[in-house]
Amino acid sequence: MSTKLLILGVNGFVGSAMVEKILNETDWEIYGLDISDHKIKDFLNHERFHFTLGDALKNDEWIEQHVQMCNVVFPLVAVANPSLYVSEPLFVFQLDFEANLSVVKMCVKHKKHLVFPSTSEVYGMSQDIPFDEESSRLVLGPISKQRWIYSCSKQMLDRVIHAYGLKENLSYTLFRPFNWIGPKQDEVKSSKKGSARVLVQFVSNIIDGKDIYLVDGGSQQRCFTYIDDGIDALIKIVERRDKEAYQRIFNIGNPANEYSIRELAEMVVETMKRYPKYRELAENTKIIATSADDYYGEGYQDVNRRVPAIKNATTLLGWQPKHTMKQSLEKTLDYHLLND
């Protein structure tokens, strides 16, 4: 059978970027499901893209039929915004854990290759630098810190998938994105606290003439990875699913792009000054320290440093992240600021 992918949550940040790159660079077919289609509009008439509008929580029959038709399954339906882990922990569990568990079981039943989005968040507050897929401890906070329900839901699925691999020969690959950024990540429409992940949040605040808030002073660090680099890794995983990527876990991140959140805020302000329409707004933006309790509420706890070991991805997949932070920021800001 030629390569047919099923992408659940195809209109999301990762799904929509996959559609674009895969249709342009491969001859694969894509079947996709999502509750909306605004990020994939340009591809709806493409002969190798078959889209269905629908809710993954309510369409088990459709999903099972399509798992049977395809040979690789990407269940990408998930909440991935930390402020929602704190405010809507049960919704995170329902979507990120329960909905995906049923898709995992379908892949076991129909013997399909599952490519599951684990997360850098599973390492939690591990002190390792870098985080290693095989040896790092996964360190979470107390139950009262709901932030960890996302990490814990994903970790449990990682463990279930691994166990199905051992007991029922499930063919799978787990990938762990490390702060992927790029066009179509989150919407710049709302600058309400916590409505987007950090980069888009900062851009929205500046557009709305609001200040930028640094949670606990912004000394925490992240390694930012451009979305196209991430999708390149996913393509290699599909290509090598029966060989180097079979039953493996890969961190997919860019250790060369490690910056503190304060540095990120400064870079965003400086870069936005180069767009004439936003220069004045950027010049007037203040960068202000705030507490995690004030910003997210008491259920939040942060990760201070998060660096991926990418030896497995470089040696087994032949993958390397290529985009510098400067290029990643410019491409993302061009998308948000030149297209409105």
Does residue 261 bind ligand UGA (CB under 6 A)?
Answer: yes
Applying CB under 6 A, among 66, 113, 184, 197 the residue interacting with ligand UGA is 197
Does residue 82 bind ligand UGA (CB under 6 A)?
Answer: yes
- How far apart (Å, rounded) are the C-alpha atoms in residues 213 and 205? 9
Instruction: Name the minimum Å distance from CB 89 to ligand UGA.
Output: 13
Largest Cα span, the chain: 60
- How far apart (Å, rounded) are the C-alpha atoms in residues 130 and 217? 23
- How far apart (Å, rounded) are the C-alpha atoms in residues 113 and 107? 7
**43 or 178, CB closer to ligand UGA?**
178
Instruction: Name the minimum Å distance from CB 134 to ligand UGA.
Output: 19
Determine the size of the site formed for ligand UGA (CB under 6 A).
Answer: 21
Does residue 239 bind ligand UGA (CB under 6 A)?
Answer: no
Does residue 218 bind ligand UGA (CB under 6 A)?
Answer: yes
Applying CB under 6 A, among 198, 234, 282, 325 the residue interacting with ligand UGA is 198
105 is written with which tokens? 């079981």
| Residue for token pair 């001859």 | 27
DSSP alpha helix (H) spans, the chain: 13-25, 60-69, 82-87, 89-92, 100-110, 148-168, 198-207, 227-239, 261-272, 279-284, 292-296, 311-317, 325-338
> Residue 2: helix, strand or coil by DSSP?
coil
Does residue 223 bind ligand UGA (CB under 6 A)?
Answer: no
Does residue 177 bind ligand UGA (CB under 6 A)?
Answer: yes
**292 or 316, CB closer to ligand UGA?**
292
Beta bridge partners of 73: 6, 114
Site for ligand UGA in 112-131 (CB under 6 A): 119-121
- In the complex, which residues of this chain contact ligand UGA (CB under 6 A)? 80, 82, 119-121, 177-180, 197-198, 201, 213-215, 218, 220, 222, 261, 302-303
